[in-house]
Structure 1
Amino acid sequence: MFAPSAPPRVIVGVDDSDASRWALSWALGEARLRGMELLLVHVAPVPSYAAAAGVPGHGTVCGLREAGGELITRLLTELRSSGGCDPARVSGMTLLGAPGDALVRLAREEDILVVGRSSRGLLSRLVRPSVHRHCAAHARSTFICVVPPTIGPLTVPGADGERPARRRLWGRRHETDG
C-alpha cells in the first residue's frame, strides 16, 4: 500500500536582495497559476569558524537563525497584507548551512525550485559560492533562475535624424515603419 505523497510545492530561496524579490514575485505567480503551495526558504550560511568549532548554540549561529526568521516573517506579512496570496497556501522556514545544498535537498522531484540571480564580483563569488549554479547542477526538481530586469537607455528609431533600419521580408527589401 502506498502512502499519500505530499502535493508539489513552489520553493523559493529568499534573502534580502532585489534578485530575491523578483524570484519571490515569479514564484508567487507560478504558485497561484498552478494552485500549488508556496514555501519561502531562507538559508543562512554558517560562518566557517562557527562550523569548525562545532558549537551549535554559538551566538553568531543563533543570530543568523533569528535574522532569517525575521526576514521570513516580514516577507510573509507583506504577502498576506497585499492580498496577493492565500495565507493557508504560503509558509516559510529558516535553515542553516550552505544555501545551494540546503535548497537542493529540500526540493523534491515534483517541486519547482526558484532562486534569484544577481550580478556579483569575482571576490564575492570566491567568498560565497553561487547558489543558482549549485542548484542548476544538482537539483532533481524543476529549477528556475530569475534574473532581475535591467533598465537601459531608451533608443527611438528615427531620433536625431536617423534613418529607419531596413530589413528583408520574403526576399524583398522593405523599410520598417518608424
Structure 2
Amino acid sequence: MKPDEIVVGVDAAWRRSGALDWGLHEARLRRRPLRAVHVVDESLRSDDFAPIRLDGQVVRPSPIPRNDRRLVDELEEYLAGADPALDLAADLMIGAPGHRLAERSASAGLTVVGRRGIGGFARLLIGSTSESAAVHGDGPVVVVPNGWQPAKHASAPIVVGVDDHDQNDAALEFAFEMAAVHHVPLWLVHAWEVPAPYTWNAPVANGMREQWEQAARQWLDTVAEQWHQKHPDVDLRHELRQSHPVVALLDAADATGTQLIVVGGRRHRLPGLMIGSVARGVLHHATVPIAVVHEHRATEPNPGQ
C-alpha cells in the first residue's frame, strides 16, 4: 500500500453511502490513489468447507461469497469510469470489518467510512463498523453521513476543535491541510466551562467568570497565532465558546455551515478508551463529515522508555 493512499470502506450499500463519493472527491483534489475496500464479515458466513490441518493447526477454509465478488466487480467498473487519470481500484478482505479497516488505516494516508451501512438499527446514528474504524484507526479517519454530496459543500469552511488538556498537533495539521487543499477558511473552536468545584457556588463562580474567560481567550489567541505563523496562507479564524466542548463544536458546525469537523482522536492507551469523550460525543451526534485524527502509533512515545 502507498502511504498517501486513500482507503474507503464500502459494503453493499455503497451507492447510498457518501463515503466513496467523498473519498473520490478528495482523491481528485489531492491527485492521490484510492482503494475501495470491502470486508467480508467472517462472523456472518456459514458456507465453510470442512476443517483441515495446516502447519499443525486446524483451520476452516471458506470461499468468498458470490455476492461479495460481484460487489467488488461493480466497484471496479464504477471506479474505472470515475477518473481515468487516477489510480483507483477495489480490494476484498476477510475478517471483522471495523477491525480490518482500522488495521488498513495504519498504512493509509486517509481512511474514509460511511456513517451507517446495511446492518444495524435505523435509530443508530453511527454503525458499529464505522465507530470501530474511527475509534481504533491510525491517522485520520473520516466518517461521512449517508447521502453526503461533497460538491455541494465545496466552499464551506473547516471546523477544528482544540483544547488545553491534550495534544492538538495531529488534528490541527490535518485541519490546516484540508483547508489549504480545499481553499476554504478554517475555524479553530475552543470551549471553556466553569470548573466543576464551582458549579454549585454561583456567587464565587460569577466573580471568577471574567478571569476564566480571559485565560481561555488568551490561550486560544496564542494557539491561533502560533499556527497561523506555520500556515500563513490559510484563512484562519478562531472562536471561544462557553459551553460543553461537544455542544460548542456542533453549534459552531451549524453556525458556519461547515463541510467537516476535525477532532483529535487517541487520548488513552487502554483498550476501549482509544478516543476521548469529546471525539466520541461529536462522532455520535454530528450530521456532517467528521475527521477523527489519531497520532500514528509509530510516532507515539513508548511509556517504558
TM-score (norm 1): 0.66
Q: What CA RMSD, in Å, does the superposition of the two structures yield over aligned residues? A: 2.7
Kindly tell me the number of residue pairs found equivalent between the two proteins.
139
1:97-139 Cα offsets, whole Å, 9 max, x none, are: 21112111221354311110232388xx8xxx70001100111
Q: SS where residue 168 of structure 2 aligns?
A: helix
What is the aligned counterpart of 2:212 among 53, 64, 69?
64
Structure 2 equivalent of residue 39 of structure 1: 187
Match of 2:174 in 1: 26
Match of 2:63 in 1: none
1:27-79 deviations in Å (ceiling 9; x for gaps): 000001001110101111322344444567331x3333222212221122112
Give the aligned partner of residue 287 of structure 2. Answer: 140
- The TM-score, its normalising length taken from structure 2, stands at 0.41
Work out whether 1:106 is the aligned partner of 2:252.
Answer: yes
In the TM superposition, what is the alpha-carbon distance from 1:150 to its structure 2 partner? 2.1
Answer whether contact 1:19 1:148 (CA < 8 A) is retained.
no
Equivalences for 1:1-178 in 2 at 5 Å? 8-16=156-164, 19-54=167-202, 57-59=206-208, 61-82=209-230, 84-86=231-233, 89-108=235-254, 110-120=258-268, 130-151=277-298
Which secondary structure does the structure 2 equivalent of 1:115 belong to?
A: strand
The CA deviation at 1:15 is 1.7
The answer for unaligned runs of 5 or more in structure 2 is 1-154, 301-305
Higher relative contact order (CA 8 A, sep 6+): 1
CA gap 1:81/1:62 in 2 versus in 1, 3 angstroms: same
Q: Are residues 27 and 66 of structure 1, via their aligned partners in 2, closer, same or farther at CA, if it must alter by over 3 Å?
A: same
The one-letter code sitting in structure 2 at the alignment partner of 1:85 is P
CA shift in 2, pair 1:74/1:135, >3 Å: same
Alignment-derived partner of residue 59 in structure 2: none
Distance 1:63 1:145, change over 3 A: farther
